[in-house]
Amino acid sequence: MNTATTCLDESDPNALTVEQALERVLAESAPVGGTETLEIAAALDRVLAEPVAARIDVPPARNSAMDGFALRAADGRAGNRLRLIGVSAAGHPWQGPVGPGECVRILTGAVVPEELDTVVMQEHAGLTESGQVTLEKDASPGANIRERGEDTRAGAVILDAGRRLTAADIGLLASQGIPQVAAVRRPRVAFFTTGDELVPIGQPLGPGQIHDSNRYTLAALLTRYPVEFVDLGVIADTEEAVRSALTQAGATADLILTTGGVSVGDADFVSQLLQKEGRVGFWKVAMKPGRPLAFGRFGRALFLGLPGNPVSAMATFSLFVRPALLRLSGAAAEPPWTLQARLLEDLHKRPGRADFQRGILEQRDGGWVVRSTGGQGSHQLRSMSLANAYIRLPAESSGASAGEEVEVIPFQSVF
């Protein structure tokens, strides 16, 4: 997609499209390698370094899916009476033999005696005073029985290397009696914000000052990923301060994240230093919000310099930092989920850059509808706070009208 000639204001011939930029980021984001052994209770969201095979058949034994009576299907004609000889309860299997014309009371999860091949649910059976079970319906062979190994078979791979463990995965491992897994080492991320105007929270604002929100946003975003992170604080807009922070981060981290200082203004030392002393991959992406984005290397670390505007910083995080973090940590960088939603109001846009407007997505009358959060300035963090999705308008688009179907990216799949 070439956006160079669509509009003088919005297009920049040196800017990459979002897709091109992502391709370059991914090409440089190799897994950091190294593994550690973790107890499964501490492994949620971590990435598997090796595939995991099932140790045992699960269920380990044929068992009942219902409370009822276990019997031979051959004895299971409607109207038949069977002699009740015992009980098989969960954790307390019936041990003795069961002869023809006999049945056992069985509870959910209890082992089905070997010689029996059907379970009649209790609602379809009656019990006489003399302890006989009467059947109201014909029983069918195999009914209400969970076969051994029906869920997983011993030896089969149940989780692949590169898998980010979910709560269900942790349970699956536990069901196999697997206490530990080999997880990929967490990449080390060092981050700092830049700007002489930035004041930490808890300190009153002087003239021209604002609170440093990006550092808190970044820390909050990073807690969701299998990474270790170090907050290097707010760095002043001097070449020396930025160099020292970059040098420290570049010596220890796998990835450096910064916000601010990546335009071409006088105080934009981040991009200057990257050019002089590191390596610059690219630093303009044809997207809105978030055009200035620096990507490269400094020291041993990969470097992503996000724009200072809080909305731009978050947008570039979701589109570029997230996939890089996943790749570095050995997981797949799945593309975001998209869905089509009916737009509830007109959206304005000039052609040239791909637009990621902040929207509120909801279900209405069985379909998806989306509306804008209002002010879309890249300094308006409230637009991110109110939103639950991006409305993606392609670079060449010149807006969209109420009633049109637009592409929406739910935040769940990008943060």
Question: How far is it, in rounded angstroms, from Cα 188 to Cα 214?
Answer: 19
The rounded distance, in Å, linking the Cα atoms of 76 and 80 is 7
Cis, bond preceding 51 (omega within 30 deg of 0): no
Q: Which of 162, 250, 261, 278 binds ligand AMP (CB under 6 A)?
A: 261
Q: Residues 295, 280: contact at Cβ < 8 Å?
A: yes
Residue 247 interacting with ligand AMP (CB under 6 A):
no
Closest to ligand AMP by CB, 21 vs 314, is: 314
Interface region with Mg ion, contact rule CB under 5 A, candidates 140-148, 241-249, 305-313, 324-332:
305-313
Measure the CA–CA gap between 88 and 372, rounded to whole angstroms.
60
The answer to whether the beta carbons of residues 168 and 110 sit under 8 Å apart is no
Per CB under 5 A, does 278 bind Mg ion?
A: no
Residue 193 contact among Mg ion, ligand AMP, none, beta carbon within 5 to 8 Å by kind: ligand AMP
User: What does the per-residue mask of binding to ligand AMP show for 32-71, with x meaning CB under 6 A?
Assistant: ----------------------------------------
* Three-class secondary structure of residue 394 per DSSP: coil
Which of the listed partners (ligand AMP, Mg ion, none) does 263 bind, with a CB threshold of 5 to 8 Å by partner kind? ligand AMP
**Least CB distance to ligand AMP at residue 191 (A):** 10
198 binds, among ligand AMP, Mg ion, none (CB under 5 to 8 A by kind): ligand AMP
By CB under 6 A, the residues from 186 to 205 that bind ligand AMP are: 193, 195, 197-198
Sheet holding 81-88, edge to edge: 118-121, 68-71, 102-106, 81-88, 132-135, 125-127
The answer to whether 219 contacts ligand AMP (rule: CB under 6 A) is no
User: CA–CA separation, 269 vs 196, rounded Å?
Assistant: 12
- 359 near Mg ion, rule: CB under 5 A: no
Of residues 11, 309, 373, 397, which one binds ligand AMP by CB under 6 A? 309
Strand, helix or coil for residue 249: helix
- Output the CA torsion sign for 268, 272, 278, 282: positive
Residues near ligand AMP, by CB under 6 A: 193, 195, 197-198, 210, 212-215, 259-263, 307-310, 379
Residues near Mg ion, by CB under 5 A: 195, 260, 308
